[in-house]
Structure 1
């Protein structure tokens, strides 16, 4: 369903995935632009620390109808350490350059957590590259007003958070995928994961080494850097021009109901807001089938816009 690709589109040696039914046979690969005219590609941006392929359980619901694309976060590009000042706007620049270089736009941008916020930043800057957005519990600074001072908060304050310090100490090598699963299974963030989501994560997160050990594809230093540079989507969302579905997880620690209502009431009419009942921040891993159903129903409701 998804195949790895590697290359340099002006932002360094990058890694991305592509696939979907429309890209599976070589004859159709040569007709991608013609296909996009009636059915745009989906670009998916994952949560921090999660490679794109760890969402196969979710993306499979779109593979028969849409070409699929997914630029990896720089944390999964290779061994190059993060520059101290590299932030989420830099990730948005990566996405813009990727879509520009490969001629995939305008796409349907789907993102989860940091992936949702980075997609929003990119779409606000380059609305011509996006047909629609689906933003799943986008990562943000807490509260109603703190996002306005994000340049002061991140990374000067956030880099001292226990989450950032713990992330830097994550093990980077594992004797087996089962050992990886056993280590993570009882940690709070992973408890609600479906078995399929956990299996996809273990498969995508680890790369076999010459000595038989398994190494993390997404380096903890990048994961910690991303946490320390947390951005918010709210200002960018006010400038969004394309149809957008903003999904809040009912039990998300990032989006308390009153705070989410405050922000959502200040967004343009093109943004539809919805709460996914009974789920937390990792709503896709908790109920990939249900979230995909919400997304597809909303996409089906959109009036086709010719290119």
Structure 2
């Protein structure tokens, strides 16, 4: 599927959600794809391009990301799911297969729990769903200042997408990505700066920082037992993590698959946390296979 997506806007009580659409609805299930923290919907472009022809794909920019509205903070991850419920409801009655990466996979589980029967199947790609013990007391913790997080100090202004791509191309984790995925990240991850000179990150560093700071605030195990769609779980290797920004290792609890009764629990040992960016063709093949098994 090499076509360009169509861009749409969906009004929600907090603000507009931007979402992209490839193909047309058919008798095959539609795919709803959710991106990770700090990224945007067009990071799925190369996954979509590797799908067989005839798929209908929907991918939104989550709140605070891409071209969707910017809230004051992203303290509660479940608010990202609440903002996307109108998009799920827009396709009510259509069979959906959900695919989510990292924070997007966490959000996908919440959507599936909030809308029983909406999804035929779920693909969770290295979800940020950690050991249950880590969530104890998270909701009572004070909301930290995003300015205190190192991600808040990342470079925000760029001359253009090419400058950003050249800067990242030989640096981890981006040097492990497929080159076109990195180009897509840079091209669609910048917006014109208000000053009229250059560009700025579509997901402001302070908002991205608030996502990382509040990863443990809401316990997903409160709803994971209510999922009514079969789950395929794909994980990168786990190991000691050098702080919250170490993406060489998986953040996914190794017991998650058994805990939620995943029908498939696969370890992709050649990958880091950024599985869709490193091997979009393999992710596309997995999605196509899941869709084929839906009859």
- TM-score, normalization by structure 2: 0.83
Aligned residues between the structures: 280
1:292 CA displacement: 2.0
Matches within 5 A, 1:62-141: 62=51, 64-76=53-65, 81-84=70-73, 86-101=75-90, 103=92, 105-141=94-130
Higher helix share goes to which structure? 1
- 1:151-175 per-residue CA deviation (whole Å, 9 max, x = no partner) reads 246x64xx4799x722212222211
Q: Deviations over 1:89-119 (max 9, x none)?
A: 1111112122214547441111100001100
1:174 to 158, 174, 199: 158
**1:230 matched residue in structure 2:** 215
Q: Which residue does 1:28 correspond to in 2?
A: none
Q: Does residue 249 in structure 1 map to residue 231 in structure 2?
A: no
Q: CA deviation at 1:195?
A: 0.8
Q: Which runs of 5+ in 2 are unaligned?
A: 239-247
Aligned-residue offset at 1:233: 4.4
1:2-17 alignment, distance < 5 Å: 2-17=5-20
In structure 1, runs of 5+ residues without a counterpart are 23-31
Q: TM-score, normalised by structure 1?
A: 0.80
Residue aligning to 1:55: 44
Q: State the shift of 1:5 in Å.
A: 1.4
Structure 2 partner of 1:150: 138
- Aligned with 1:56: secondary structure? helix
Measured in 1, the distance between the counterparts of 2:277 and 2:9 equals 26
RMSD (CA atoms):
2.8
Looking at structure 2, the residues matched to 79 and 103 of structure 1 have their Cα atoms a distance apart, in angstroms, of: 22
